Amino acid sequence: MSITGLDRLNGKSVFVTGATGFVGKRLVPALLDAGAKVTVLLRSRHGAHALAAMGAKVVTGSLGDGAAMKSTLRDQDALFHLAYDMRAPAAENLATFDTLRQAAEAVEVGRIIHISSIVVYDGWPQENLTEDSPASRAGGTPYSQAKMAMEQTLIQGNCPVAILQPTLVYGPGSMLWTDRLADWMAAGSVVLPEPEGLCNAVFVDDLVQAMLRAAVLEGLGQERFIISGARPFSWSSLLTGYANIISRGSIHYVPLADLAERLPPEEPGTIPDTPPLAARISAAARGWIGRERFEGIVQMVKQRLPKQGEVYPDRYMLELFSTKGHCQIDHARARLGYAPEYDLDSGLEATQDYLRNRYGK
């Protein structure tokens, strides 16, 4: 990719959290290719060998260790903060984030590139959104509340920060928007509402592009950027694309009102900040045997399970499947020079080898 000023990363010291995650695995090689001196933080030694072989310096420890973070972040030109543990309570994620932020500000890190989420906006997913759209901490999930709290703290801080708010990030290794959807198609048929809505999504390498641009942006203050693809596409186009790659799966349409009627009543009250038992077991297993080995075992088990027939959307997915809202990227285009390189066709093409290997095609 061609990014004006990317050569300014050559020889710069950068620190990355979440380096073994879906986005981190794409970001670290891009930073190394740009000539940056990359240090990554891992909670264990799983994945350390591969990162060291690329040329990254690996530090093991905890985001919650303030003294260690100060020592590691000292003299860093940029902090790329990607880490968020979906298998831990939001309050725990917020606490470790605050320790990291305080350490970064104490040692005067050059800048922070923080990955937030489009879910911080009150109008997500139904409304057209820009960076000026309302966002508050009232209501929402513990995840969205934590992300909003992180943003507010960074905006009020004294360190230059680029807060990137990606929409639905898909591509090789995306557990939610590639693996899960492809698993649904492999199970049989996915039910979509009639009328069908729009999918606001971004291919992972376009998000990495935005992160690199934020790292070299001149005059950075405390700024937010919505990051999405050039334009939304239909959910059926994405699902059919996955089905064509893995050679299985179909789509079945049901009137939106009928799908809404079959959902259980919403339970009033605050959503508990407690990860499901399955998520906690998953987290422990990943810690014991490593993420990639664990996910390989899970996929092997899934392939041996009987097909489930039709997959109906839950309340949140039905809202996504029916939305007409459009997430605008005009500000990211103008300020960052962000230019999405992947439309749906090229994104699917870049994902096909990953999915074919995953399903033994």
3-class state of residue 115 by DSSP: strand
pLDDT at 45: 80
pLDDT at 292: 54
Taking the C-alpha atoms of residue 224 and residue 222, their distance in angstroms, rounded to an integer, is: 7
What pairing do the DSSP bridges indicate for beta strands 161-166 and 309-311? unpaired
For the chain, which residues make up each domain, given as ranges? 6-170+201-231+325-343, 175-196+233-322
Average pLDDT of 136-159? 90
103-139: burial string, b at 16+ Cβ within 10 Å, e else:
bbeebebbbbbbbbbbbbbeebbeeebebebebeeee
Average pLDDT of 241-246? 97
Task: Write the pLDDT tens digit of every residue in 161-202.
Answer: 999 999 999 999 999 999 999 999 999 999 999 999 999 999
Closest CA to 350 of 338, 339, 340: 340
| CATH superfamily for domain 6-170+201-231+325-343 | NAD(P)-binding Rossmann-like Domain (3.40.50.720)
Q: How many CB atoms lie within 10 A of CB 176?
A: 12
Task: Write the pLDDT tens digit of every residue in 253-287.
Answer: 999 999 999 999 876 655 665 665 444 444 444 44
Helix, strand, coil % over all residues of the chain, rounded to 5:
45, 20, 35
pLDDT(23) > 90 = yes
Task: Write the pLDDT tens digit of every residue in 192-231.
Answer: 999 999 999 999 999 999 999 999 999 999 999 999 999 9
More confident of the two residues 309 and 303: 309
Amino acid at 57: K
Average pLDDT of 127-152? 90
DSSP state, 214? H
**pTM for this structure?**
0.90
Helix ranges (H only) for the chain are 24-33, 48-54, 66-73, 90-106, 142-155, 180-187, 204-215, 235-246, 256-261, 277-289, 291-304, 315-322, 330-331, 344-358
Query: What are the backbone dihedrals phi and psi of residue 247, each rounded to the nearest 5 degrees, phi first?
Result: 60, 40
Average pLDDT of 140-163? 94
